[in-house]
Chain A
Amino acid sequence: MRDARGDIRQLPGLRLWLSGGWLLLLVLAAIFAPMLSPHDPLEQDLFAARLPPFWEQGADPAYLLGTDSLGRDLLSRMLYGARLALTVALVAGTLTCLVGATLGLIAGYYRGWADLVISRLVDIWMAFPPVLFAILLIAVLGTGLTSIIIAIVVIDWTRFSRVVRAEAMSQGAMDYVASAQVAGRSRLGIALAEILPNVLPTIVALLTLEMGIAVIVEAILSFVNLSISTDEPTWGGMIAEGRTSIYQAWWVLVFPLFALFLTVLSFSQLGEGLKEYFDPVLR
């Protein structure tokens, strides 16, 4: 019995290490992209087009992961793509979290008319199909990094507010909240010092999940060419280009797709692991 429990407790640790490791690697890649990149990510060389990755016949060791149909170095493009992906993940994820969690906390703890308004807003929001909503927003805001971030925040805050509201509500009914009230704590004090710490593990899990989602959204928007200017290297853009030459040069599609997949998976696993790590009862 004890041993089985021990095994389960090992798992979040491993999960944290693997996902955290990949993300750390990515952060380093993004920060040091200019130094690490063997080539200019935009530089075209039509004589070196569709070179395969290093282990295949006919590879050029100067292009480790090969080149795309315009002869641009895949590795360099992926490193620069990581910059954009991570910027969107961090900024959009954090902002979405701040907006959504704050509204959820207000609705769930203060209840009353604030809850009425916020919950109604959430209902209306949920009625929009998110991808359509995103494309519509980009059409209005114009393409560019800021637009993507705004679009993600505007679309996804409900993900936080719904969950945080429900949790804040159930925490608010606990006796410890009543005791704090009797002890003369203000409502704001209770919301921040008593309720928030109990909802935090969930918020952290949602936050990392949201970062993964932001990466996907950015990739989708790049894929349909609504993201940044067309020649800026993005994973989504690379996937879109790779799709057209999948039979001649599979690597152009597979490498960015793999990076995207690993990144999104890592964010969600990191969230789960952190949630267990933060929860004093599970810890």
Chain B
Amino acid sequence: MSYLSIQDLSVRLRNGLPLLRKVSLDVKAGEVRALVGESGAGKSMIGKAVLGILPRAVRLTGGKILLDGEDLLALPPKTRRQRIGAKAALIPQDPLTALNPSRRIGPQITDRLVDILGWKRPEAEARALELLEEVHIQSPGRVMKSYPHELSGGMRQRILIASAFAAEPKLIIADEPTTALDVTVQKQILKLIREMQERHQTALLFVTHDLGVVSKISQSLSVLYAGKVIEDTDVRAFFDAPRHAYSKALLAATPKYTDPDGSLMPVPDNIIAAVEREVAAFDAQMNE
């Protein structure tokens, strides 16, 4: 049973340019699915569509998004917001802009509990302290009273993780949660996300362009190119034998899988050209 099921999702710029081309993608309850693809492929756009935060310049033109079996797009906006707020959460990419600079950490975590779940302030605060301990933050009491700029990037990302898990959502979308951090911190954060996901049995859609990370965290994988899913498979099968030529090239371009001399193989031009043709053919077919 899929907890999140995206079916034929299409998103376009207001001028008609397609950004997502009939994307279908499922995340089962408690499963981790990685979403990979190069910059601009539309990975974040998928997450934003699910969470109902598409940018203004962009329009959802078709498809269905089922969350816990319920068609989100068929719900009235207010109900939809409540459902998403109670069942899904986001771990954003940039811990610098993802916390409000002029508010203390405490209320930023407890807001969701108070607003959506109707908890009392003191209960919510106790829960927030617990969560901060769970993400291994020392002296959580002090952190609750701090402003974001007083904390390091890694700390902030831990707080965002705690905050994402606060309302016990059963789906979390992590949009390149380690990209903005330095390498040593990246590893800890990745470990933490996996640990939290396992403990809370959350479905996780993990957006990344690092295939090295994919093998460590996820069970299944979707490869996105130019807003089109070109491969949807489980991780073992993918690393053994990717089906699509682009996926093969992508794998070859990942440092871990390159020659011992460490040289990186970029995705060859002829393969890029081939995928581009494929996407163009798909568009032509759509427009018929």
Residues of A at under 8 Å CB distance from B? 111-112, 174-176, 178-185, 189, 194, 197-198, 200, 280-281
Given A185-B111, A280-B147, A179-B90 contact (CB < 8 Å): yes
The answer on a CB contact under 8 Å between A281 and B149 is yes
- Chain A, Cβ-Cβ closest to B88: A182
Q: Max chain A CB contacts within 10 Å: which of B52, B94, B98, B102?
A: B102
The answer on a CB contact under 8 Å between A280 and B101 is yes
Q: Is B84 an interface residue (CB 8 A)?
A: yes
The answer on a CB contact under 8 Å between B115 and A178 is no
22 of the cross-chain contacts (CB-CB < 8 Å) are A174-B100, A175-B92, A175-B97, A176-B98, A176-B99, A176-B100, A178-B90, A181-B81, A182-B51, A182-B52, A183-B85, A183-B89, A183-B115, A183-B167, A184-B81, A184-B115, A184-B116, A185-B111, A198-B100, A280-B147, A280-B149, A281-B149
Q: What are the 7 A-B residue pairs with the smallest beta carbon separation, nearest first?
A: A184-B85, A175-B98, A183-B112, A197-B102, A174-B97, A175-B92, A176-B100
Q: Is B199 an interface residue (CB 8 A)?
A: no
A residues near B247, Cβ cutoff 8 Å: none
Q: Using a CB-CB cutoff of 8 Å, which residues 48-79 of chain B contact chain A?
A: 48, 51-53, 56
Q: Max chain B CB contacts within 10 Å: which of A176, A181, A194, A198?
A: A176
Residues of B at under 8 Å CB distance from A? 48, 51-53, 56, 81-82, 84-86, 88-90, 92-94, 97-103, 108, 111-112, 115-116, 147, 149, 160, 163, 167
| Distance between B153 CB and nearest chain A CB, rounded to angstroms | 14
Please measure, in the bound complex, the distance between the C-alpha atom of A111 and the C-alpha atom of B57, giving whole angstroms: 11
The answer on a CB contact under 8 Å between A200 and B111 is no
A residues near B90, Cβ cutoff 8 Å: 178-179, 182
B residues near A194, Cβ cutoff 8 Å: 100, 103
Given A185-B115, A280-B147, A178-B103 contact (CB < 8 Å): no
B residues near A189, Cβ cutoff 8 Å: 115
Chain B residues touching A, majority SS: mixed
A residues near B86, Cβ cutoff 8 Å: 184
Given A175-B98, A176-B100, A280-B102, A183-B149 contact (CB < 8 Å): no
| Distance between B143 CB and nearest chain A CB, rounded to angstroms | 15
Partner of B53, one of A174, A182, A200: A182
Please measure, in the bound complex, the distance between the C-alpha atom of A197 and the C-alpha atom of B100, giving whole angstroms: 9
Please measure, in the bound complex, the distance between the C-alpha atom of A168 and the C-alpha atom of B88, giving whole angstroms: 27
Given A184-B115, A184-B116, A197-B103, A179-B147 contact (CB < 8 Å): no
| Distance between B203 CB and nearest chain A CB, rounded to angstroms | 15
Please measure, in the bound complex, the distance between the C-alpha atom of A182 and the C-alpha atom of B160, giving whole angstroms: 13
The answer on a CB contact under 8 Å between A175 and B101 is no
The answer on a CB contact under 8 Å between A198 and B101 is yes
The answer on a CB contact under 8 Å between B84 and A175 is no
Please measure, in the bound complex, the distance between the C-alpha atom of A256 and the C-alpha atom of B191, giving whole angstroms: 69
Please measure, in the bound complex, the distance between the C-alpha atom of A198 and the C-alpha atom of B111, giving whole angstroms: 17
| Distance between B223 CB and nearest chain A CB, rounded to angstroms | 25
Partner of B98, one of A179, A181, A185, A280: A179
A residues near B89, Cβ cutoff 8 Å: 182-183
Please measure, in the bound complex, the distance between the C-alpha atom of A197 and the C-alpha atom of B84, giving whole angstroms: 26
Q: Max chain B CB contacts within 10 Å: which of A181, A183, A185, A281?
A: A183
Partner of A281, one of B94, B101, B160, B163: B101
The answer on a CB contact under 8 Å between B92 and A179 is yes
Given A175-B94, A179-B90, A179-B92, A184-B82 contact (CB < 8 Å): yes
| Distance between B218 CB and nearest chain A CB, rounded to angstroms | 22
B residues near A184, Cβ cutoff 8 Å: 81-82, 84-86, 112, 115-116
A residues near B149, Cβ cutoff 8 Å: 280-281
The answer on a CB contact under 8 Å between B84 and A182 is yes
B residues near A200, Cβ cutoff 8 Å: 102
| Distance between A173 CB and nearest chain B CB, rounded to angstroms | 9
Please measure, in the bound complex, the distance between the C-alpha atom of A178 and the C-alpha atom of B116, giving whole angstroms: 16
A residues near B163, Cβ cutoff 8 Å: 179
The answer on a CB contact under 8 Å between B92 and A180 is no
A residues near B108, Cβ cutoff 8 Å: 176
Partner of A180, one of B48, B84, B94, B111: B111
Please measure, in the bound complex, the distance between the C-alpha atom of A179 and the C-alpha atom of B81, giving whole angstroms: 12
The answer on a CB contact under 8 Å between A182 and B85 is yes
- Chain A, Cβ-Cβ closest to B98: A175
A residues near B84, Cβ cutoff 8 Å: 182, 184
| Distance between B91 CB and nearest chain A CB, rounded to angstroms | 9
Please measure, in the bound complex, the distance between the C-alpha atom of A281 and the C-alpha atom of B149, giving whole angstroms: 6
Please measure, in the bound complex, the distance between the C-alpha atom of A200 and the C-alpha atom of B103, giving whole angstroms: 12
| Distance between B251 CB and nearest chain A CB, rounded to angstroms | 30
Please measure, in the bound complex, the distance between the C-alpha atom of A36 and the C-alpha atom of B165, giving whole angstroms: 64
